[in-house]
Amino acid sequence: MKSFSWLLTAMLTLSTIGVGQTKKTESDLQTVMIKVPTVVCNSCAKTISSAVKKVEGVKSVSVDAEKKVAMVKYNPTKATLASLEKAIADAGYNANDTKRNQEAYEKISECCKIDVDEEE
Ligand SMILES: [Cu+2]
């Protein structure tokens, strides 16, 4: 009998923790896909994700170097798509129709440079 009540207490405790962990903040966030055609490798991807993470309201960033897209999850009341694009451009990479900052581009690794502007 004693072990039964212990089990019941344990179950109640676990279910209480489970309820406490349910948060609905995720629904306030927006996910956007940004085209980053000048990304070459994973090092570029890291540069972009660390730059975008510095933007206020950004929750997560994942850059796919092969597909050349950045998926950004952010709080739309704090960040805007334009501010995300600007952060990427300031890191030296094109973002959608926002052209990269040329000065920042000069500073990135030699192997990461790609002249897309001439191809267009
Ligand atoms: Cu690179």
Q: Which residues surround ligand 1, an ion (CB under 5 A)?
A: 40-41, 43-44, 112
Residue 110, domain CATH: 3.30.70.100
Question: How many structural domains does the chain have?
Answer: 1
| Cα 40 to ligand 1 centre (Å) | 5
Query: Residue 116: pLDDT above 80?
Result: no
Length of the chain: 120
**pLDDT tens-place string over residues 55-110:** 999 999 999 999 999 999 999 999 999 999 999 999 999 999 999 999 999 999 99
Does some domain include residue 34?
yes
What pLDDT, on a 0 to 100 scale, did the predictor assign at position 120? 42
**Is the pLDDT reported for residue 114 higher than 90?**
no
Does 92 map to a domain? yes
Ligand 1 centre to CA of 38 (Å) is 9
